[in-house]
Amino acid sequence: MASSTILVIEDDPAIRRGIVDALTISGYAPIEASDGESGLAAAGNPGIDLILLDVLLPKMDGFRVLESLRSRCSIVPVIMLTARGTEEDRVRGLRGGADDYVVKPFSALELLARVEAILRRAAEKPSSTEPLTVAGRSIDFARREVRFKDGRRIVLSEREADILKYLAANRGRSVTREELLKRVWGIDPRGVQTRTVDMHIARLRETLGDNPDDPQVIITVRSKGYMLA
């Protein structure tokens, strides 16, 4: 399994370097951003597993970054980092969708323990099995079954169901091929050239009776990836 990719959004160069070094030594793959705007842009990259987000950032503070992330329906876990340890700030961050809150100064060991706990919790979180209706097709993830308006029923393969689950969990945004490779197949997409995702999407569309020339279920987003209608 590929190592977890962690985005560090921190404007203090010394603190950011310390966090990045600690993550790298521990086997993680860190990405850096020094302000809120660039951090929010980096958060849109495929395959981000966790975000370490400072509160006091130039251009856009951490609370606004978090609000924008959650408004996009991003489910990436976020740990807030701040020297402001007031109860009001902690409550604001947690209510805004943060998964944890670490107050500066903190030790590398404490931060790594929080990171490990959040990643473990995210990995153990069961995938949604709530039924889904899209373009006249009712999808029952628990049974891996699709029911059509005319009464026909088909059974999805496990991989087809996993693809649909991930697209459903990120409904409303395009999901890149690289993100699907990492999240559904568990493959590190860096340096990998494969048509696996496109081939599976084509077969899934065929299974769902979704016209590839005018898809109503899985939409192709040009130069980006795929999105559930």
Is the pLDDT at 1 greater than 50? The verdict is no
pLDDT level of residue 197 (50, 70, 90 thresholds): confident
Instruction: Name the domain boundary from 124, 150, 183.
Output: 124
pLDDT level of residue 166 (50, 70, 90 thresholds): confident
What is the average pLDDT across 71-99?
78
Q: Are residues 81 and 140 in the same domain?
A: no
Tell me if 167 sits within 8 A of 205, measured CB to CB.
no
Give the gyration radius of the chain's Cα atoms.
Answer: 19
Q: Are residues 24 and 96 in the same domain?
A: yes
Q: What are 31-63's pLDDT values in tens digits?
A: 999 999 999 999 988 778 899 999 999 999 989
Q: Out of 12-16, 22-26, 52-56, 72-76, which region has the weakest mean confidence (pLDDT)?
A: 72-76
**What is the CATH number for 52?**
3.40.50.2300
Q: What are 114-135's pLDDT values in tens digits?
A: 898 888 776 655 455 567 888 8
| Region for 175 from its dihedrals, namely left if φ exceeds 0, alpha if ψ lies in -120 to 50, beta otherwise | beta
pLDDT level of residue 221 (50, 70, 90 thresholds): confident
Q: Are residues 117 and 138 in the same domain?
A: no
Q: Are residues 90 and 160 in the same domain?
A: no
Q: Is 147 helix (H, G, I), strand (E, B) or coil?
A: strand
Q: Are residues 118 and 146 in the same domain?
A: no
Q: Are residues 109 and 27 in the same domain?
A: yes
**What is the CATH number for 156?**
1.10.10.10
Instruction: Name the domain boundary from 74, 104, 124.
Output: 124
Q: What's the total number of domains in the chain?
A: 2
Decide the pairing of beta strands 145-147 and 137-140. antiparallel
Q: Are residues 11 and 116 in the same domain?
A: yes
Q: Are residues 52 and 85 in the same domain?
A: yes
Q: Are residues 104 and 179 in the same domain?
A: no
Q: Are residues 144 and 196 in the same domain?
A: yes
Token output for 223: 């130069």
Provide the domain limits for residue 187.
132-228
Q: Are residues 82 and 140 in the same domain?
A: no
Q: Are residues 59 and 156 in the same domain?
A: no
Contacts 24+ apart (CB under 8 A), 197-203: 200/159, 200/160, 200/163, 201/163, 201/226, 203/160
Please state, in angstroms and rounded to a whole number, the distance separating the CA atoms of residues 128 and 137. 17
